Amino acid sequence: MHAFGQILKIETRLYLRDLAAPLITIVLPLLLLTVFGMIPALRESNPDFGDRSFIQYFAPSLLVITLAMAAVNILPTVLATYRERGVLRRLATTPASPAALLAAQLVISLGTILISAVLLIVVGRLAFDVPLPRHPLGFALALVLGTAALLALGLLVAAVAPTNKSAQAIAVPLFMLVMFFGGVYLPRFMLPNFLVRIGDYTPPGVQALLDAWTTDAPRPLHLAIMAVIAVLAGSAAAKLFRWE
């Protein structure tokens, strides 16, 4: 559709113009991978990490940075700002629906997540001995379901927050929780066991990503929980979302 293509094109440009967003979402995880990967000790297997190297153990957490930024930070604040400023309402007076703008934002989120995942996998493999996902299907499933769960949460925030300010007030703590349980702030081996277990079930489900990336099939329960969160948060968001 012509209108959707135009909206996607313009929204992508706006996303790139806001340098901070692509820098933190895509460049920062890659940069951290490179910095840690250059330290030889972090590339050696270590029983603390289940016979993985630190860098193998930490790579899924770097992907969590991308997921958290795209889905629960940028997406809800952009949508709430658009609603607050009447961008969505104005679009509703034209033949293009505000739904097209929402769809464009989702495409941009998915695109950045995909790009970042591919970059981390490829650079990790070529430079730092991180294997390609050992269980590709399981990895794809874990990534898709984790992404869906987080995007649904992001949309729910956008649905309940009327303004940019209120969206940030919900999105920032949520973002920090996702980052924390995703093992970004502190690698998970440094956390007490019960926090690690909570992290297994906190979207996007970093343990399932880790299992599929470096060992074997993720646990079905981990995946199922992500699917349930995606469906629940997604339908609540669909119910509550307002264009104005």
Partner 1 sequence: MPVIEVTNLHKRYGETVAVDDVSFDVAAGEIFGVLGPNGAGKTTTVECVAGLRVPDGGEVSVLGLDPRRDATRLRQLVGVQLQESQLPDRLRVAEALEMYASFYRDPTDPARLIDELGLGEKRNTPYQKLSGGQKQRLSIALALVGNPKIAILDELTTGLDPQARRDTWGLIERVRERGVTILLVTHFMEEAERLCDRLAVIDKGRVVALDSPTGLVSAVAPEQRIRFRPSAPLDDRLLADLPQVSAVTRSGTQVVVTGTGDVLHAVTSVLARNQIIAADLRLEQATLDDAFVELTGHRPAE
E strands in the chain: 45-46, 52-53
CB of 13 to partner 1, least distance (A): 7
CB of 95 to partner 1, least distance (A): 5
| Paired residues of 46 in beta bridges | 52
Q: How many CA atoms lie within 13 A of 73 on its CB side?
A: 19
Q: Distance between CA atoms of 227 and 13, rounded to whole angstroms?
A: 32
Residues 163 and 80: beta-carbon distance below 8 Å: yes
CB of 167 to partner 1, least distance (A): 15
CB of 39 to partner 1, least distance (A): 38
| Residue 89 or 134 having the CB closest to partner 1 | 89
| Residue 46 or 81 having the CB closest to partner 1 | 81
> Which distant-in-sequence residues (6+ apart) come within 8 Å of 9 by Cβ?
none
Residues 146 and 226: beta-carbon distance below 8 Å: yes
- 51 torsion bin: left (phi>0), alpha (psi -120 to 50), beta (else): left
| Residue 19 or 39 having the CB closest to partner 1 | 19
Q: Which residues bind partner 1 (CB under 8 A)?
A: 2-3, 5-7, 10, 13-14, 17-18, 81-82, 85-87, 89-90, 92-96
| Residue 87 or 227 having the CB closest to partner 1 | 87
CB of 72 to partner 1, least distance (A): 20
Of 79, 95, 115, 102, nearest to 2 (Cα)? 95
| Residue 3 or 238 having the CB closest to partner 1 | 3
| Paired residues of 52 in beta bridges | 46
CB of 92 to partner 1, least distance (A): 7
| Residue 88 or 184 having the CB closest to partner 1 | 88
> Which distant-in-sequence residues (6+ apart) come within 8 Å of 100 by Cβ?
1, 3, 4, 7, 91
